[in-house]
Amino acid sequence: MSIETNNHQPYYVTTPIYYVNDRPHIGHCYTTLIADVAARAQRLVGREVFFLTGTDEHAEKVSQKAIENGKTPYEWATINAEQFKAAFEFMGFSNDDFVRTTEDRHKQRASAYIKKLMDQGDIELGDYEGWYDPSQEEYLTETVAKENDYKSPVTGRELEKRVEQNYFFRLDKYEGWLREQIESGAIRILPEARKNETLGRLKQGLMKVPVSRKIKEGDPDWGITMPGDPEHRIYVWIEALCNYLTTVDTDERRAFWNGEVVHLMAKDILWFHAVIWPAMLHAMGEKVPETIYAHAYWISEGTKMSKSLGNFIEIDQLRAYADRYSLDAVRWFLTTQGPLGANDADFAHARFVEVFNADLANSIGNSMSRVGNMINKYFDGEITRTCDGKFGFEGGKALQLAIKALDDAGKSPDDPSRTFNFDPMTSKAVDDALEALSRMDLESMLAAGRSIVRYVDDFISYSAPFTLAKRVGELEHAEKALATILYSCAEALRIASLLLSPAMPQKMAQLWRDWNCNHLRDPNDAESGFVAPLAELARWTGEHSLRVGQQVSKGDVMFMRADANEPAPGTDPQPESV
């Protein structure tokens, strides 16, 4: 694949809508972060992007908690929804909307979808007896209930045997269709292990699924009633899934549903997204999502996070990390070390410091400030030469002179015939990043950016521009060669910074300000959008490259090396009150 042939359809990425009862924690922040990184990367590519997150508010638990707290359910939901909004703003998420399921726009359309399914016979009334998991608000099949010893597979709580008259969605009708869609990849379930798991579970057969709950006496007025039957309420899961469509079911936004749709979540709620939701959509005559991506879990210092252990890494702790190490460092750590694949990931302080130092302080930040510093030291911060031969000097020739300076100093490199081809190297890194992005492999996308940084570091160690600098004025053309070498480094780092920017938008925008790169519409606003698509921005010595005469200032240290012995932030002992 090459930059030019990349997909240019509108891109629609979603996160689960989170239960409004929980306090925002690392899990919510993680899924929303990877959606943010993907959304930013797709905007950089030049695609129209819509990124949606929000809160799921009609659960029974919300009304119970509201009563305990002396509030109406809506007041309680609002207080908590605001906490999610604040947390996501703090994390720098660029979501285009935040949906609350208590909003009219959602309620009206969700209700209309259910009515359509009722009218056409896909939803019907019937008796239901089954094993209900109150902690997850879902019914389980007899097989699954038995396998889990009649306890919730998620929380371990006792299942309840419930008999209800309910409306049912005829999921059973769509078994063959679903298998075909998933096997063929028309609905792409990622990672691969999750696809196999879903197909395995499909083999056990599909039942009709309840889509309503009978309203009991004394129940608070909470949720959406079934169209035409006010004694029943739409089951909260079914209603919640509809958010992905209700929010974009408008004239201006429909193109996003018709474009590429990517639903992100953790493995806990894959079944709803990979099976129930596509079947509902298909029954409604709607297009189904292209990608269902279910990552694994964050655990904390080696232990599963749970309410009973009280060991959730909450937003305040992430804030404390961001205060000490910068928000972009937190975003980097979570994105590159998170449970994107099939395995869980551990949030351990020692690991955070290790990754911070290795990737950011010693590599990306160091390389960028080192090159900026050399351009300042040797050329007063001015780009004086490119490396395409246009100004009379080529990269190859520059390297020969650097080696001559090393030879003269008795420090010849082991392999004097090594070559460095920055143009093909950087464009391959960009292609690799795009290919990884199309698979939602954000770690590999960022690794492609880092590979350029490593190449630059290697080139600096090999060509030793500081040795060459000592010969300026004495060795013929030494100055031109030095300028050319530094240009190659800076231009390569500029391209790397574009690929790294989806994870670290603030730090990279700072670099572009320091180096006077016009990548953003407003250089002072990292959120102002790019002036051109990546294919143009990332072209080696292209229209957006560093230019002769451009000023590159030193700027502040991007990431200060972290002390591994300092205790984790947010865990400092509180001063005793006097």
- Lay out the site mask for ligand MSP across 189-228 (x = CB under 6 A, - = otherwise): ----------------------------------------
| Closer CB to ligand MSP, 293 or 540, in the complex | 293
- Lay out the site mask for ligand MSP across 147-186 (x = CB under 6 A, - = otherwise): ----------------------------------------
Residue tagged 């030469």 (tokens): 385
| Closer CB to ligand MSP, 206 or 299, in the complex | 299
Q: Strands across the sheet with 225-226, in order?
A: 212-214, 229-234, 225-226
- Lay out the site mask for ligand MSP across 410-449 (x = CB under 6 A, - = otherwise): ----------------------------------------
Residue 297 binds ligand MSP (CB under 6 A): yes
Cβ-contact 52, 31 below 8 angstroms:
no
User: Distance between CA 327 and CA 507 in Å, rounded?
Assistant: 9
Site for ligand MSP, residues 254 to 273, rule: CB under 6 A: 265-266, 268-269
Residue 82 makes CB contacts below 8 A (sequence gap 6+) with: none
| Closer CB to ligand MSP, 56 or 432, in the complex | 56
Residue 493: which of 459, 521, 532 has the closest Cα? 459
DSSP 243-271: HHHHTT-STTTHHHHHSEEEEEEEGGGHH
Stretch that binds ligand MSP, among 18-26, 143-151, 322-330, 435-443 (CB under 6 A): 18-26
Q: How far is the CB of 282 from ligand MSP (least distance, A)?
A: 17
- The correct pick among 34, 117, 178, 241 for binding ligand MSP (CB under 6 A) is 241
User: Distance between CA 360 and CA 129 in Å, rounded?
Assistant: 56
Q: How far is the CB of 327 from ligand MSP (least distance, A)?
A: 19
- The correct pick among 305, 322, 442, 538 for binding ligand MSP (CB under 6 A) is 305
Stretch that binds ligand MSP, among 16-24, 90-98, 375-383, 524-532 (CB under 6 A): 16-24
Site for ligand MSP, residues 54 to 113, rule: CB under 6 A: 56
Half-sphere exposure of residue 385, counting CA atoms within 13 Å on the CB side? 23
Residue 504 makes CB contacts below 8 A (sequence gap 6+) with: 328, 331, 332
- The residues facing 530 across adjacent strands are 520
Closest-CB residue for ligand MSP?
A: 27
Residue 383: which of 507, 551, 509 has the closest Cα? 551
- Lay out the site mask for ligand MSP across 19-38 (x = CB under 6 A, - = otherwise): x--x----xx-xx-------
DSSP 126-179: EEEEEEEETTTTEEE-HHHHHHTTTB-TTT-PBPEEEEEEEEEE-GGGGHHHHH
Q: How far is the CB of 270 from ligand MSP (least distance, A)?
A: 8
| Closer CB to ligand MSP, 18 or 167, in the complex | 18
Which amino acid, one-letter code, is at 371? V
Helix (H, G, I), strand (E, B) or coil at 180: helix
Q: How far is the CB of 264 from ligand MSP (least distance, A)?
A: 7
User: Distance between CA 198 and CA 393 in Å, rounded?
Assistant: 59
User: Distance between CA 497 and CA 538 in Å, rounded?
Assistant: 10
User: Distance between CA 530 and CA 193 in Å, rounded?
Assistant: 36
| Closer CB to ligand MSP, 55 or 166, in the complex | 55
- The correct pick among 16, 395, 449, 502 for binding ligand MSP (CB under 6 A) is 16
| Closer CB to ligand MSP, 240 or 498, in the complex | 240
| Closer CB to ligand MSP, 295 or 507, in the complex | 295
Q: Is the dihedral of CA 109, 115, 119, 120 positive or negative?
A: positive
Q: How far is the CB of 111 from ligand MSP (least distance, A)?
A: 16
- The correct pick among 3, 13, 17, 364 for binding ligand MSP (CB under 6 A) is 17
Q: How far is the CB of 334 from ligand MSP (least distance, A)?
A: 10
By CB under 6 A, name the binding residues for ligand MSP.
Answer: 16-19, 22, 27-28, 30-31, 56, 240-241, 265-266, 268-269, 297-298, 305
